[in-house]
Structure 1
Amino acid sequence: MSSTPERAPSGHVDRVADYYDDNTRRFLLVAESPGSDAIHRGVWTPDVANAAEAMDTVNRLMIERVRGYVPVDGARVLDLGCGVGGTMVRLAHEVDGLISGVTISRVQADIAAKRFAREGLTDRCDVICADFAELPARPHYDAMVAVEAVVHSPSLENLLPSLVERLRPGGRLILCDDWMTDKDRGLAARERCLDQFRAGWRVGSLHSVAELAAMSECAGLRLVEDLDLTPYLRLGRPRDRLIKLAVGATAVVPRLRERIVEMPFWANMIGGSALQVGLSRRWLEYHLVVLEKA
């Protein structure tokens, strides 16, 4: 089915948990819009006026695609890889129902729970610290969303059927993530870049949207929308250029690169720098994808 084998290393889930436990508080400090409680990327669509709005773009786009496809009251929505709960809070203000989230990171789960308490949402928002591939069979959800999360799955091909089992008929799975393209496939520079992205950002499943669509169809989902957000990312910011220089210096000693990629801080630098290159050369693209259960 997939032309690209999944090759997450042994212990991958634990490595993802360590990565976010160690990095999350720093992510919040250096976010494009500090104080937003969002650790995903800002998307500068033409209607966006400032960094806060850019950080909310993905949330807004997801809400638009959830509203109208869930019950007007009593909806159940699940945020896969919910981070510190920013998207969940936005959903809770826009969708009448229960918003659940799951994160592999204990640090993120604790931050999210405290935010729900501050917002007075503990009766409508709950977060569990677990692997989203091993969720209870019930309850069933009207919609599931995931922002920059499913790329960490050791096997997206195995994950999709388990999610479909927990999604009601007609329910939506909305994914916003990085997807591989076929551009320059086989080129040595491209493959090195993607390998650095995988290693640094603890990526377990890197697929194209076409591969996702094929896997989804086999799992009982149909692709209803594919929105390319890559043109609206701001690449090559001063901070990104500094990181590229720092990461480039480590390439002089390959064994050094191999060692520091295991350190969550440097792993983020290495993976993020590779991501910038991949996006700028269109080896990777950032897409919002909507799938629907038959």
Structure 2
Amino acid sequence: MAEAARRLTALAERMLGAPLPVRIRAWDRSEAGPPGTPVLIVRRRRALRRLLWKPGELGLARAWVAGDIDVEGDLYQALDLLAGSVWERGEDASRPTGPAALLNALRDPELRAAGRELLKLAGPWVPPAVPREEMRAGKGPLHTLRRDKQAISHHYDVGNAFYERVLGPSMVYSCAYWGTDKDAASTLEDAQRAKLDLICRKLALQPGQRLLDVGCGWGSMVLHAVREYGVTAVGITLSEEQAAYARKRAAEVGLADRVDIRVQDYREVPDGPFDAISSIGMAEHVGSARYAEYAADLYALLRPGGRLLNHQIARRPLKDEGSYEVDEFIDRYVFPDGELAPVGRTVAQLEEAGFEVRDVEALREHYALTLRRWVANLEAHWDEAVRLTSPGRARVWRLYMAACALSFERNRIGVNQVLAVRTPPSGEPGLPLRTRDWR
């Protein structure tokens, strides 16, 4: 008799200490759980073995990437419903939920019977193969030049054609800037162009100035600044594929003589000073151990009076900052070695490097809207995205972008543009008295 779903639901609720908010469909086609909710599909017993071999988020991530689990119905709703009981710690930190509860259940004498039943359901006790899309944890110190290049390559060197399907014609991989009406029919391309232009205005770019774009991606920022504001620009990236794409774009629009795209680390730029620096969605890769160095290096690369626009995702502060742990799914499959910091810490470190911080603008809701458009693009081009990369890679991007959209919407993470100035000894920063006149 097909009953795996009923047994799974009962076991999960016993271990988690709460009802499952979604329906389960198991490999034997049985179903159990609340009707009218998204369905969590457990396609193979191997999904259970992944959880037993790696209790926690990494086991869940591997099951998702391998296609052992899936969601039928609204992915956003499923993630939102599951967040409280599976992927996040509840308000009562003394009572673990989700993967931590599973791990505890396997150790708790009172729940060992449930653990033994889960073992029976899981089938042969052999370690499942790790999905090939997973990056193994690097060896040695974090954020060396070599290790950073490997981490960036893992994320960005997966094929420019794949990113074209996800990002659209703008080829901008950071938060767009939407209008005041969230329901307005603005295109993603319009919103990304508005973001690039906002940054150029904040930097007060003028013809003849030199701009450094740190983490230039596929070249969209430097091309916009050169074309619309008459600057010359240097764009640096650690991705060979991004650099080749950006150079090709510059040549195609006749701007190759004013755009210099380099495969180069920010710590190795030799030809400052610059009149302005933009760093858009790059500082998340720097890491807490290197952030003071990052801020000091950018300060040294600016001329007195020059401006820095630092566009960076931020996490919420913790009561115990020493307890911060990097998300295992993100670290292994999306942004290896990436770290988020509270915006207050970012501002403090920029100031410690010598910058005068003049403006901080929060764009949290804008990133949620952007991510939902990227997910829609990916889903609309799903078969092609799978062909261009792999089924597992496409599944990684779909899950991480949808989950991040919810995180921005629920105020779990934010994103901020910090405008900072290398104020000259005269104390005159060169900004208008009403700082936001760039609007």
Normalising by the smaller structure, the TM-score range is 0.7 to 0.9
Distance 2:394 2:294 in 1: 28
**How far does residue 142 in structure 1 lie from its aligned partner after superposition?**
0.6
Distance 2:331 2:292 in 1: 17
**How far does residue 40 in structure 1 lie from its aligned partner after superposition?**
2.6
Match of 1:283 in 2: 412
Match of 2:104 in 1: none
Secondary structure at the aligned position of 2:157 is classed as: helix
Gaps of 5+ in 1: 1-6, 244-262
Pairing of 1:211-250 with structure 2 (within 5 A): 211-233=345-367, 234=369, 237=372, 240=375
Distance 1:290 1:140 in 2: 18
Match of 2:342 in 1: 208
Pairing 1:148–2:285 present: no
Match of 1:79 in 2: 213
Query: What's the % identity of the aligned pairs?
Result: 22
Pairing 1:181–2:278 present: no
Sort the Cα spacing of 1:229 and 1:209 in 2 relative to 1 into closer, same or farther, 3 A: same
8 Å contact 2:371–2:404 — kept in the other structure? no
- Tell me which of 234, 256, 270 is aligned to 1:122: 256
Pairing of 1:250-265 with structure 2 (within 5 A): none
Distance 1:278 1:211 in 2: 20
Sort the Cα spacing of 1:84 and 1:239 in 2 relative to 1 into closer, same or farther, 3 A: closer
8 Å contact 1:80–1:101 — kept in the other structure? yes
Distance 1:290 1:166 in 2: 16
Pairing 1:17–2:153 present: yes
How many residues are aligned here? 261
8 Å contact 1:201–1:271 — kept in the other structure? no
Distance 1:26 1:83 in 2: 14
8 Å contact 2:217–2:246 — kept in the other structure? yes
Distance 1:275 1:185 in 2: 22
Structure with the greater relative contact order (CA < 8 A, sep ≥ 6): 1 or 2? 1
Sort the Cα spacing of 1:111 and 1:275 in 2 relative to 1 into closer, same or farther, 3 A: same
Distance 2:276 2:284 in 1: 19
Distance 2:326 2:400 in 1: 9
Distance 1:28 1:242 in 2: 9
Q: After the TM superposition, which of the residue ranges 11-20 and 92-101 deviates more from structure 2?
A: 11-20
Secondary structure at the aligned position of 1:46 is classed as: coil
Sort the Cα spacing of 1:291 and 1:205 in 2 relative to 1 into closer, same or farther, 3 A: farther
Gaps of 5+ in 2: 1-140, 379-391, 424-439
**How far does residue 45 in structure 1 lie from its aligned partner after superposition?**
2.4
Distance 1:225 1:197 in 2: 30
Q: Deviations over 1:136-165 (max 9, x none)?
A: 1x2210100022111112422221111111
Q: After the TM superposition, which of the residue ranges 150-159 and 230-239 deviates more from structure 2?
A: 230-239
- Tell me which of 147, 157, 162 is aligned to 1:26: 162
8 Å contact 1:197–1:275 — kept in the other structure? no
Pairing of 1:161-176 with structure 2 (within 5 A): 161-176=296-311
Matched to 2:152, the amino acid is: V
Larger Rg: 2
Distance 1:42 1:236 in 2: 9
Distance 1:277 1:267 in 2: 16
8 Å contact 1:156–1:205 — kept in the other structure? no
Q: Deviations over 1:159-195 (max 9, x none)?
A: 111111111111111022211122x7579xx967845
TM-score (norm 2): 0.53
Match of 2:193 in 1: 56
Structure whose residues are more often strand by fraction: 1
Distance 2:196 2:202 in 1: 10
RMSD: 3.1
**How far does residue 235 in structure 1 lie from its aligned partner after superposition?**
6.8
Distance 2:200 2:370 in 1: 25
Match of 2:29 in 1: none
**How far does residue 241 in structure 1 lie from its aligned partner after superposition?**
9.1
Distance 1:59 1:115 in 2: 17
